[in-house]
Amino acid sequence: MRFTKMLCILAVLAWASFHLLAPPVQAQGSAAPDTSGVKIDGEYGPFLPTDISEHGYKIDRVIDIVHVFMAVLFVGWGAFFVYCLVRFRQKPGHQADPHEVKAKVSKWSEIGVAVFEAVLLIGFSMPLWAEVRAEIPADDDPNALHVKVLGEQFAWNFRYAGPDGIFGRSAAKFVKDGTNPMGLDRSDPHGDDDIVSGEFHIPTGKPIVVQLTSKDVIHSFSVPVLRIKQDTIPGMRIPISFTAKKSGVGTYEVACAQLCGNNHYSMRALMYVQSQNDFDAWLIEAGKPPEEFDEDDLD
Amino acid sequence: MSSDHDHEMGFLRKYVFSTDHKVIGIWYALTGLFFLFFGFCLMMIMRWQLAFPLEKVPVIGGLLGSTLANDGVLLPEGYNALGAMHGTIMIFLGVVPIVVGGFGNYVMPLQIGAPDMAFPKLNMFSYWAYFIGGVVMLASFFVPGGPANSGWTSYPPLSNIATTGQTWWLFGMVALITSSLLGSINFIVTIVQLRAEGLTMFRLPFFVWAQFVTAFLLLLAFPPLEAASILQLMDRLAGSSFFMPEGLVVSGEQSAYTGGGNPILWQHLFWFLAHPEVYVLILPGLGMVAEVLANNTRKPLWGYRTMVYALVFLGFMSFIVWAHHMFITGMGVTISAFFATTTMIISVPSVVILTAMIITLYRASIRFTVPMLFVLGFLPMFAIGGLTGLPLGLPAADIPLHDTYYVIAHFHYVVAPGTIFAIFAGLYYWFPKVTGRMMNSGLGKIHFFGSFIGMNIVFGPMFFVGLAGVSRRLFDQTGYAWGDAVQNWTIASSYGAWFLGLAQIPFIINFFMSIRGGAKASDNPWDATTLEWHAPSPPPHGNFATVPVVYRGPYDYSTPGAAADFSPQHAAGTES
Amino acid sequence: MRCSKNTITVIATGFILAIGTTAAMAEKTTVRGKVIFKGNAAKFKRTKLDTSKDPKCKMSKKSIGTYDVILNKKTDPITIRNVLVSIKSGLADRVFPTPNTPVTLTQYGCEYDPHVFGIMEGQELKILNGDETNHNIHFLPKNNDQYNFSQPKKDLEKGKTITLDAEAPFRVKCDVHPWMGCHIGVFKHPFYDVTDKLGKFEISGMGAGSYTLELWHETFGTMTADFTVAKGQTTDLDIEFEVK
């Protein structure tokens, strides 16, 4: 019996240390493994990954505060739990006291929890959410870069307005796999210079507005390093906005976070965060008509 | 209802197509346990793929067939199918049938001193509807394209364009929902109408209260999903477009759907069920925990009335938090503020109930019996599950965590080491009542410690995998830098899952051996107070020899001046 | 046990093949020719496809081109590649044995090889993955099963084998690499061919008689051409495919 009790206590302690102390496996540093032929920048490990967005630190701060709060509650509560298990175990001659304990502590701790949650919600989460969700530059805001993102099974398509800064028309009937994945109407003069790419290129230090929609099923546009995630829903156009930090130049990954079919896990795109100059150069390069393909050159 | 012609009933009427709530309860529990085990096996296969991507599944790889796997290597479509079926089976075919159909059916009428459920035939029908739903779900593994593979949430348009398995899934769901609806009406009427004399609402054991609130949740939350399932069936079979917007291009071809529907509508209908469903999973578990806790602390539950109020409030609130599953569907600021607020509010009654349970330990005389060990495992695990819901309920903090392993870890802490530990506690606790024999406590302890350690190795690392940014439902996370960096943690999780599987072996042995070979149990082996222990073990058809009269509250333990440290509810004497 | 069974199958197959070949030799009839492009060839340029979505594609092939129209511009006159030429009528109700050799479809460099091909009803189609990446093959036929399965790793040996029922050419695509597409025509007879780099096709063994050929192209559509072939003869047939 005594052995069982010891085991029980040990298990609880082991559990607590497992969860609350520093995990043994540390972030693997910047040497993220080369899994696709392209080196991915950033530090990844068992905590939140690198943050290259200007709003990300606020989200991280809320997450940190909540976790400290959870840890405090759990440790306090767990200490009382373990104390009770040891102190009030059944022994000969010992009987339980059926009188209701007047537990002021519990009442106050419950009120404390409620107040703290209210503070978290009203003080941190709501303003931040409002900032992330509502403060999105308008469609004609020249200071922001607008990108249309179209999800499909199982790829992301990115569309830039080109030199004229205006997106051309597009419709489902124009969609052609391979050559016109976003269904651009090439007869529209505004659409002539639109750039469609399978890579996500963005400049640093400039507000980016991403307008998300989907061709077929629900996807979710997830970029962990930018602290953004937004479902893309067919039939809806949902804008989100963010700014990449100047120091965030590098290559990262875009993933799909909503089950979208067999190869959901292959729905990965590369994101190139570039200085404004590099980005402009890329735009010019990508805006050129596609190169002629001559298979004899390959032999 | 009289037991005169008991002996004239044939074998089938007595043991299979029985209207006796106890036989139905046993069937529910056994079928549910089978599905629980089956669903767990699906997960163990998935864990192999996650830990060792694209390697041949050992031992059973060959059995996976050519739809789900190729040459024993699980395919992405197979992974998705197993994932969808794991969720569906665990929730709708495993846990709910066990806690509501099994324990609710068997224990609740006994605890209120009733001879049977109010509508015994309806009760039998709801079991068979459940059984049919289960058979349909199992059969869907053998249809072309395999079973449903759009996740247990079945979001359209994906589910609308999915393989035939999805149609079977929907038919299965309609059967299961029908079963739950019939059951819930039966539970409500039984609890309202058939309580023994003297058993007022505030003398009801907490378990009965939990079943009562759960029945209301089932009754009110399931109809929207039944409607939604039928709408989706129409979309799939009759070419309607309830959930399909116009202008879809699937695999490069324009979709034939006329459009005009909205995929978000499904999510609202689904989560309007599925959030209360979370409480359907946990409330009966809390009820069982309360029973075992009071019995093994040898003192009344602390703040019984507060707990009941909290329970009712929890049930009510669970109907107005559903959209916190949908923060990133493009929800506006105002509406998300509402749902975030209700979500924070609903955490308060949960904290109240949990705190009351912890304080019950104070100045107790704790017996470390096997059911009690599971309860003591349940309490901190459930706390973890509850606490980690906080960052997910705050829309801003939800952004990086939404749809990652963090969410998986969170709700599994609530239902796996949470509800499933409660189920084990209940099984060990009421086993002597059902069979007349005790389960072996040595094997029980091995089972508990194995499960406790296993559960934490499975789900603990998932928090870190989730924080790292790994989305759920990924067939292979190593293709992403953030996934590859925490692959070791995923491997640890997988070893945990297989260890957890091993830890169930002592339970399975114990369960089957004890049915015939366990030590004989008295009518009241745990020295408990509630009415089910007044009936013989096992109780005969009709339950009680004499209709019991109740004189006191449910947990009259250690009353000063009483003859023993417990005073049964039916024992006359000083009323409390 | 198993081994001996296989041996018997092999011997039997050899036997049948031998008889079949002799029979065909007896009345060797052939139709051959090329499909000539008639229209404005400058309109159809082959460009490079954007495969940046999956960098692993480039590990197999540096670049791949569009495939919806491939003109053999170096031939004179200009011919069309990837035209599926098959006998449409004239065979009456004759029944032909299904070949025992499978047709192989390989995914390499995130491209299908071959891009257009015919197969006989019931003949085995073996699908292989030559890339270090995940492919998902999705059939979009009207009558056949809409096969939709993944090949998540490189596999040039076993692959996945399926059979199909007769159907007009339909599209097959990869859902992971949306630009990847190919077309399969399934026939009840073995008399079909796909025009090559020189725009040539050759079909033989149909026996003496008058027949109608059907030419199918994924972008240009279909046209028909009649021909007659005598016993032991070869008919040359250059067909002009008019493109507006």
pLDDT digits (tens, 9 = 90+) for A80-108: 999 999 999 988 878 888 887 776 777 78
Long-range contacts of C9-16 (CB under 8 A, 24+ apart): C13/C100, C16/C97
Q: Please give the class, per CATH, of domain A145-290.
A: mainly beta
Q: Which of A262, A263, A266, A267 to mutate to test the interface with B (most CBs of B within 10 A)?
A: A262
What the block records as the tokens of C116 is 């257009």
Q: List, in sequence order, every residue forming a beta bridge with A272; answer none if it has no partner.
A: A201, A251
What the block records as the tokens of A52 is 């290259």
What the block records as the tokens of B193 is 């109408």
How confident is the prediction for chain C on average, in pLDDT? Answer: 87
Model confidence at C35, in pLDDT bands (50, 70, 90)?
very high
In angstroms, what CA-CA distances link A96 with B206, B307, B558? 20, 20, 6
Q: What's the rounded Cα separation, in Å, for the pair C83 and C72?
A: 12
Q: What's the rounded Cα separation, in Å, for the pair C148 and C122?
A: 19
Per-10-residue mean pLDDT, chain B, length 576: 53 82 95 96 94 90 86 92 95 95 96 94 95 96 92 93 93 95 95 94 96 96 93 93 91 85 93 92 96 94 93 94 90 88 91 91 93 96 93 91 95 94 97 95 96 96 95 93 94 95 96 93 94 92 88 90 87 66
Q: Which of A121, A176, A263 sits opposite B394 (nearest CB)?
A: A121
Q: Return the CATH superfamily for domain C29-242.
A: Cupredoxins -  blue copper proteins (2.60.40.420)
| Residue B207 pLDDT | 97
In angstroms, what CA-CA distances link B329 with A176, A183, B249, B402, C141? 28, 24, 21, 11, 34
Backbone angles phi, psi at A166, to 5 degrees: -125, 135
Contact B538, B435 (CB under 8 A): yes
Contact residues on chain A for C68, CB-CB shorter than 8 A: 176, 178-179
Contact residues on chain B for C148, CB-CB shorter than 8 A: 77, 145, 163
Contact A196, A215 (CB under 8 A): no
Q: What's the rounded Cα separation, in Å, for the pair B181 and C188?
A: 54
Nearest C-alpha neighbor of B69 from the set C150, C95, C232, C141: C150
The percent of residues in chain C predicted with pLDDT above 90, rounded, is 57
Q: Would you say the C-alpha torsion A38, A42, A48, A54 has a positive or negative sign?
A: negative
Partner B contacted by A237 (CB < 8 A): no
**Rounded (10°) CA dihedral B6, B11, B16, B19:** -10
Q: Which of B76, B299, B485 sits opposite A263 (nearest CB)?
A: B76
- 């279909």: which residue's tokens? C222
pLDDT 10s per residue in chain A (299 long)? 444 444 445 455 455 444 444 333 433 433 344 445 688 999 999 999 999 999 999 999 999 999 999 999 999 999 999 999 999 998 887 888 888 777 677 778 788 888 888 888 888 888 888 888 878 888 888 889 999 999 999 999 999 998 888 899 988 888 888 888 898 988 888 888 899 999 999 999 999 999 999 999 999 999 999 999 999 999 889 999 999 999 999 999 999 999 999 999 999 999 999 999 999 999 999 988 888 887 765 54
Contact B133, B176 (CB under 8 A): yes
What the block records as the tokens of A274 is 């570039």
The 10 Å Cβ neighbour count of residue B141 is: 18
| Residue C184 pLDDT | 96
What the block records as the tokens of B70 is 């190729």
Q: How far is CA B387 from the centre of its chain?
A: 19
Backbone angles phi, psi at B176, to 5 degrees: -65, -40
| Residue range(s) defining the domain that contains residue B57 | 22-242+261-534
C113 dihedral zone (left: phi>0; alpha: psi -120 to 50; beta): beta
Say how many domains are in chain B.
1
Does residue B45 lie in a domain region?
yes
Per DSSP, the three-state class of C104 is strand
In the chain, the amino acid numbered A168 is G
| Residue C8 pLDDT | 53
Q: What's the rounded Cα separation, in Å, for the pair B350 and B387?
A: 10
pLDDT digits (tens, 9 = 90+) for A32-82: 444 456 889 999 999 999 999 999 999 999 999 999 999 999 999 999 999
Backbone angles phi, psi at B331, to 5 degrees: -70, 145
Contact residues on chain B for C140, CB-CB shorter than 8 A: 251-253
Does residue B208 lie in a domain region?
yes
Contact residues on chain C for A197, CB-CB shorter than 8 A: 50, 52
Q: Which of B263, B387, B485 sits opposite A45 (nearest CB)?
A: B485
What the block records as the tokens of C50 is 């954007």
Does residue B3 lie in a domain region?
no
Contact C150 B144 (CB under 8 A): no
DSSP-derived secondary structure letter, B535: S
Q: Is the ipTM of this complex over 0.85?
A: yes
Kindly state the helix (H) or strand (E) to which residue C229 belongs, with its residue range: strand C221-229
Contact A214, A232 (CB under 8 A): yes
In angstroms, what CA-CA distances link A246 with A204, A252, A276, B45, C236? 5, 15, 10, 44, 68
CA distance C145 to chain A (A): 17
The domain ranges of chain C are: 29-242
| Residue A297 pLDDT | 55
- 């040359």: which residue's tokens? C236
Q: What's the rounded Cα separation, in Å, for the pair B378 and A272?
A: 47
End-to-end CA distance of chain C: 62
Partner C contacted by B144 (CB < 8 A): yes
The 10 Å Cβ neighbour count of residue C8 is: 10
Contact B47, B459 (CB under 8 A): no
The domain ranges of chain A are: 2-19+54-90+106-134, 145-290
Partner C contacted by B245 (CB < 8 A): no
User: How would DSSP label each residue in A149-184?
Assistant: EEEETTEEEEEE-TTTT----B-GGG-BTTTBTT-B
Q: What is the largest CA-CA distance in chain C?
A: 63
Q: Which of C62, C66, C136 sits opposite A263 (nearest CB)?
A: C136
CA distance B26 to chain A (A): 31
Per-residue pLDDT, averaged over C118-134, amounts to 94
End-to-end CA distance of chain B: 32
β pairing state of C116-120 and C181-187 = parallel
Contact residues on chain C for B251, CB-CB shorter than 8 A: 138, 140, 173, 175
Contact A198 C53 (CB under 8 A): yes
- Subunit partners of chain B (3 or more CB pairs within 8 A): A, C
Contact residues on chain B for C178, CB-CB shorter than 8 A: 252
Q: What's the rounded Cα separation, in Å, for the pair A117 and A110?
A: 11
CATH number at residue B525: 1.20.210.10
| Residue A245 pLDDT | 95
